[in-house]
Amino acid sequence: MTKIILKKGRDESLRRFHPWVFSGAVAQIVGQPSEGDVVGVFAHDGSFLAYGHYQIGSIAVRILSFAGEDVLGPDFWVNMISKALKVRQATGLANGLETNCFRLVHGEGDGLPGLIIDWYDGVCVMQAHSVGMFRSKGAICEALKSVFGERLKAVYDKSSGTAPFKAGLDLVDGYLYKAEGFSDDEQVVLENGNKFFVNWTEGQKTGFFLDQRENRALVGRYSSGRNVLNLFCYTGGFSVYALRGGALRVDSVDSSKKAVEMVSRNMSLNGYGSDLHEDICADAIDFLRQVPEDKYDLMIVDPPAFAKHRGALNNALRAYQRLNAAAISKVAPGGLVFTFSCSQVVDKEAFALAVFSAAAQTGRSVRILDRLNQPSDHSVNIYHPEGEYLKGLLLYVE
Ligand code: SAH
C-alpha cells in the first residue's frame, strides 16, 4: 500500500481527528497511487496516523480510519453504514411512521468523507464527491443490501454532477441495484406526515431537500392565519407544511419550471386545491420587487448556495444582504421572515451580519426569534466543523 508521509509538524490536525490531509502537508509519497486508492498516512517520524482515499487536488487524502488496517477489511462498509443507521434509529428518524425519508450518510459527519446517501423509503440515492467513493460504489451497494435486506428497493447512483471529472471515469448516473419488480424513478415519501413526490433522476441533488425537515415543521407551527410567500420553493416542502399549519394561502416561487410543476403535484397529493395556492415560475428578486407591501405576513427565503468556495464569499454576502433587504422591506407589519443560507463558507456570524445589514438598510424594527440549523441526520463530526453548512434566522418584523 502507498505511504503518504507528512511534513514535520503537519500531523497535528490528524491527531485531533480532522479527516483531511491537505496536499501542502505531504512531504513524500512512497509508491505510485492512483486516484481513489486507499493509502496509509504517516507522520514525519514514521508513526502511523490513518488510512484514507488518495486524490490529486488540494485535499490529498480523505480519512476513512484512524485505527488499524483491519478496519478497511471486508466488513468496513457494512460497519460504517450500520453505525450511521444506528444514529438515525437513536433519534427516531429511521423507525418513525410519520417520516420515511432521511439522510443515511452525511460524508465526514458519518466518518465517510465524500459520500452522501439519502434514504427514500427503501430507495438509496448516493452521490460520490470523491474519486475514492466513486470507485467504491459497488462495495457500498453490496453493504446497503446486507444492512437493509428486503427493505432495500433500489440503489441509485447520482454522482455524475458531484464526482470530480478529472478522474476520467465513466460518469453515467444509474441504478446499482433494483429489487425484483421495482421500476419507478419516483415515489411518494412521508415527512412528518406530509406526502411528497421525490424524483431522484430528474430532481435537484438527490431529489429532495431533506435538510429542511425541522425548519419546515417550525414554519407549519407559525403559519396559522397567515398569508405565506415561499421563495426558492423547489418542490414546495415549506408550502405544504404552511397549509397543513393553517395558512390562509401560500404562493410558491422558483425559477425552475420543473420544480414549480412539482409543487402543484405535491399540493394536490396533500389535498390542497388551487384556491389555496399559486405556484409561480419566476426569479425571486424580480418577484419580490412587484409584491405589495402588506400582502404577505410570513416569508420563507431559502436560496441556493451563493458561495460555493471561499473566493466567492464577498459577493455572496452582498447577495444575501440584497435578498434579505428586499424580503424584510416587503413583509407586512408584524410579519415573520424565515431566512436561510446553505453556503458552507458563509458561517453563522457572517450570515447574521448580512441579515443585520439588510435590516438596517430597510430601517424597520427587527427581532431575532430563533436561530435555525441543519437537522440531526445531517450530522456534524465535532472534529470537522466544516460540516456545518445550513443556518437560518427567524425574524419578526414590526
Ligand atoms: N426550500 C426548498 C429548497 C430550495 S433549493 C425546499 O425546502 O425544498 C434552492 C431553489 O432555488 C432551487 O429549487 C432553485 O431552482 C431555485 N432558484 C435558484 N435561483 C433562483 C432565483 N434566482 N429565483 C428563484 N428561484 C431560484
pLDDT, tens digit (0-9, with 9 covering 90-100), for 300-336: 999 999 988 888 999 999 999 999 999 999 999 999 9
Q: What's the average model confidence in pLDDT over 84-107?
A: 96
My answer on whether 103 and 229 are in the same domain is no
Q: How far is the CA of 239 from the centre of ligand 1 (A)?
A: 13
Answer whether 263's CB lies under 8 Å from 228's CB: no
User: What radius of gyration do the chain's Cα atoms show?
Assistant: 22
* pLDDT in the model for residue 167: 54
Residue of the nearest CA to atom 1 in ligand 1? Answer: 233
Q: How far apart are the first and last CA of the chain?
A: 64
The one-character DSSP state at 46 is: S
Cell numbers describing residue 91 = 433519534
My answer on whether 321 and 224 are in the same domain is yes
The CATH number assigned to the domain holding 57 equals 2.30.130.10
What's the chain's average pLDDT? 96
* pLDDT in the model for residue 171: 81
My answer on whether 105 and 51 are in the same domain is no
Share of the chain above pLDDT 90, in %: 92
Cell numbers describing residue 133 = 467513493
Ligand 1 pocket check for 51: Cβ under 6 Å = no
My answer on whether 170 and 251 are in the same domain is no
* pLDDT in the model for residue 177: 98
Confirm whether 242 is domain-assigned: yes
Using DSSP's 3-state secondary structure scheme, residue 327 falls into helix
Ligand 1 pocket check for 219: Cβ under 6 Å = no
My answer on whether 130 and 228 are in the same domain is no
| Domain termination site, one of 133, 158, 188 | 188
What digits encode the pLDDT tens for the residues 176-233?
A: 999 999 998 999 999 999 999 999 999 999 999 999 999 999 999 999 999 999 999 9
Ligand 1 pocket check for 238: Cβ under 6 Å = yes
My answer on whether 33 and 118 are in the same domain is no
Q: How many domains does the chain have?
A: 3
The CATH number assigned to the domain holding 137 equals 3.30.750.80
Using DSSP's 3-state secondary structure scheme, residue 33 falls into coil
**Pick from 153, 110, 120: nearest CA to 19:** 110
Q: What's the average model confidence in pLDDT over 366-381?
A: 98
| Domain termination site, one of 141, 159, 188 | 188
Confirm whether 105 is domain-assigned: yes
Q: What's the average model confidence in pLDDT over 40-54?
A: 97
Q: How far is the CA of 95 from the centre of ligand 1 (A)?
A: 30
Question: With bands split at pLDDT 50, 70 and 90, how would you rate the model's confidence at 70?
Answer: low
My answer on whether 372 and 276 are in the same domain is yes
Q: How far is the CA of 128 from the centre of ligand 1 (A)?
A: 23
Question: With bands split at pLDDT 50, 70 and 90, how would you rate the model's confidence at 69?
Answer: low
Q: How far is the CA of 204 from the centre of ligand 1 (A)?
A: 10
Range of the domain at 23: 3-65
- What beta strand segments (E) does 241-281 contain? 249-254, 277-281
Give CA separation, 103 vs 9, 75, 84, 240, in Å.
Answer: 36, 22, 9, 20
Rounded-to-integer distance, Cα 290 and Cα 288, Å: 5
* pLDDT in the model for residue 140: 97
My answer on whether 213 and 356 are in the same domain is yes
**Pick from 129, 173, 172: nearest CA to 154:** 173
**Pick from 225, 282, 212: nearest CA to 254:** 282
Confirm whether 223 is domain-assigned: yes
Residue of the nearest CA to atom 21 in ligand 1? Answer: 283
- Pick the atom of ligand 1 nearest to 286's CA: 23
Confirm whether 198 is domain-assigned: no
Confidence check: pLDDT of 18 > 70: yes
The CATH number assigned to the domain holding 384 equals 3.40.50.150
| Domain termination site, one of 188, 217, 235 | 188
What digits encode the pLDDT tens for the residues 256-272?
A: 999 999 999 999 999 99
Confirm whether 203 is domain-assigned: no
pTM metric for this prediction: 0.96
Confirm whether 287 is domain-assigned: yes
My answer on whether 144 and 49 are in the same domain is no
75-107 in b/e burial notation, b at 16+ Cβ within 10 A?
A: ebbbebbeebbebbeeeebbebeebbbbbbbbb
For 67, other C-beta atoms within 10 Å of its C-beta total: 11
Place of cell 435538510: 211
Q: What's the average model confidence in pLDDT over 10-34?
A: 97
My answer on whether 90 and 40 are in the same domain is no
Confirm whether 193 is domain-assigned: no
Question: With bands split at pLDDT 50, 70 and 90, how would you rate the model's confidence at 84?
Answer: very high
Confirm whether 202 is domain-assigned: no
Q: What's the average model confidence in pLDDT over 112-137?
A: 97
Rounded-to-integer distance, Cα 43 and Cα 47, Å: 5
Q: How far is the CA of 224 from the centre of ligand 1 (A)?
A: 24
My answer on whether 345 and 383 are in the same domain is yes
Ligand 1 pocket check for 254: Cβ under 6 Å = yes
My answer on whether 19 and 118 are in the same domain is no
